[in-house]
Amino acid sequence: MSEMLAHSGTTRDGFSWTSSNGMKKGNFTSKGVISPSERIRSPGDFVYDTIVVGAGYAGLSSARDLTNAGRKVLLLEGRDRVGGRTFTIKEDGFNYEMGGTWVSHCQPHTFRELLRYNMDKDLIKTRESGHANDYYTFALSDAPARHVSHEEAAASAAKGWNLFINVDGAYGRKICPLPHQQLENVQVDRKEVEKWDSYSCWDRFEEMKSQLNKEESDLLLSLLLMISGGNLHNSSLWDMIRSQALVNHEFNNFEDIWFLYKLREGQSALARNIFNDAVSNGLEYAFQTPVSGIKQVSNNLNHVSTRDGRIYQARKVICAVPLNILKHLNFEPSLSPLRQEAVEAGHINYMTKIHAVVKGSGMASWNGVCYPNNILYAYGDGVLPSGDAHLVCFGTDERPHFVPERDPAKILSALQNFHPMEVKKLVFHNWNTDPYSQAGPCFWPPGFMTKYQEELQSRHKNVFFASADWANGWRAFIDGALEQGFLNAQNVLNELRQEDKATLPGARSSL
């Protein structure tokens, strides 16, 4: 390469608040920012082997795999950075993860990438014990808040969850034995899966709520809302069954697999490693270049149009944008009626994720649940170089009355509802108002999986679709995005090879 890529820059994404400066948008340092923002060396009429739309983990991994296989690839991205719904802000000498955060050796595609870039051993833990407030706070309904041990909190949550999830008498082992092959697997008849997929979380809660006291009920309801990012009526029971299966059907595994291990260098470092790998092998790219449409011109030629009026050509296209964004792209020919139906329905996760810097180190060992509240859960997550505690906080869909960047006072009030604390700073990104996501990580309504998953995973002419939003296993997670990037890159590469063999004997024989 004759040009050098900057190792970090400032992104327009993200918000922070302090009492002295108020709400600030953008201008945050991140390793994910790409500068220069464009590297296109091919002439304007060049036909790429593949154009990849979207530089989240699905798009990055597919672009990398195809480029490293010797293919001519163009990556187009509307943002100023890589990572999609995952990126790291470096502030206060600390890595704030704005979206997807935690990793686990139980996530196969993620672990493969960590091994590839020598990041598998460079992990840090979220939990720190031994600070002053080393307990779990229950602030539930109208009852006075009370502090319990972390072990007691886990046992109370486990009781409700295990009753809720035990639809088959085996805690999901019978109905979902293979979470990466939920449909058409060797163990379970599809009609059984369709039956449980038709249930909402509310349907199941109504069946079993009499077995819980008020505190146990509130704990279960708050947990379901945090996981789904929706409400109990529009959240699928199957998504909870799938979540249970992915942690080896044991509630006690949730915390270690979902919320414990982070990358020391941050998620943007991993995304940047994948991107740099591809660039070193010839990837062309344009950031800050939103795509407006994808048109199939002929059997082996596709046009990808950008909002600024440019048109790029390719034999194949991998569309790696989130489900809730697909309706804003123009496809010619039109998508199938079934896919259009899924796209219009979209997914239901409109969660909130907010980082809070709290004076002193005491809250670094604290966890809490507050229900009902604009923020449902808060977890102590390390101590900043300043000596202040860092909390990472989650809420469900509160859009009608709570927009974090407009309502910092509501964030502070919600945190005080958990526990007295002096909040010095807030850092977050609102994925629900983000034009390139328009929601958080994907969770589905009842019946969505059995009706639409296979269609969403299928190709549309010469357009392939890669996103964590319809992954086989870790849907809504980084691992699901990497899975879909890998699978679609393999499918495209195999097809390109077959076409080359048929039309250009001897060409690219090394591929």
Q: With a cut of 90, say whether residue 6 has pLDDT above it.
A: no
Q: With a cut of 80, say whether residue 3 has pLDDT above it.
A: no
Based on the fold, state whether residues 403 and 446 are members of the same structural domain: no
Look at residue 505 in the predicted model and tell me its pLDDT. 60
pLDDT tens profile 195-245: 999 999 999 999 999 999 999 999 999 999 999 999 999 999 999 999 999
Look at residue 466 in the predicted model and tell me its pLDDT. 98
Based on the fold, state whether residues 372 and 469 are members of the same structural domain: no
367 falls within a domain: yes
Question: Mean pLDDT throughout 13-42?
Answer: 98
105 falls within a domain: no
Tokens representing 338 are 């079934």
Look at residue 4 in the predicted model and tell me its pLDDT. 61
Q: Which residues contact 210 (CB under 8 A, 6 or more apart)?
A: none
Tokens representing 296 are 């199939």
Binding-site residues? 291, 394
Look at residue 511 in the predicted model and tell me its pLDDT. 40
Domain boundary among 373, 398, 430: 430
Distance CA 366, CA 149 (A): 10
Q: With a cut of 50, say whether residue 255 has pLDDT above it.
A: yes
From its phi and psi, is residue 506 left (phi > 0), alpha (psi between -120 and 50) or beta?
A: left
Confidence of residue 510 (pLDDT cuts 50, 70, 90): very low
101 falls within a domain: no
pLDDT tens profile 473-489: 999 999 999 999 999 99
Residue with tokens 């977050």: 428
What is the span of the domain harbouring residue 444? 9-88+266-345+439-503
pLDDT tens profile 399-435: 999 999 999 999 999 999 999 999 999 999 999 999 9
Confidence of residue 508 (pLDDT cuts 50, 70, 90): very low
pTM: 0.97
Based on the fold, state whether residues 132 and 204 are members of the same structural domain: yes
Binding-site residues for substrate? 394
Within a 13 Å sphere around the CA of 401, how many CA atoms are in the beta-carbon half?
5
Question: Mean pLDDT throughout 321-328?
Answer: 98
Question: How many distinct structural domains can be found in the chain?
Answer: 2
Distance CA 433, CA 319 (A): 21
CA distances from 295 to 56, 300, 335, 343, 390 (A): 22, 11, 11, 18, 47
**Is the backbone peptide bond immediately before 179 cis, with ω within 30 degrees of 0?**
no
Based on the fold, state whether residues 66 and 148 are members of the same structural domain: no
Binding-site residues for FAD? 291
Tokens representing 310 are 């440019």
Based on the fold, state whether residues 204 and 77 are members of the same structural domain: no
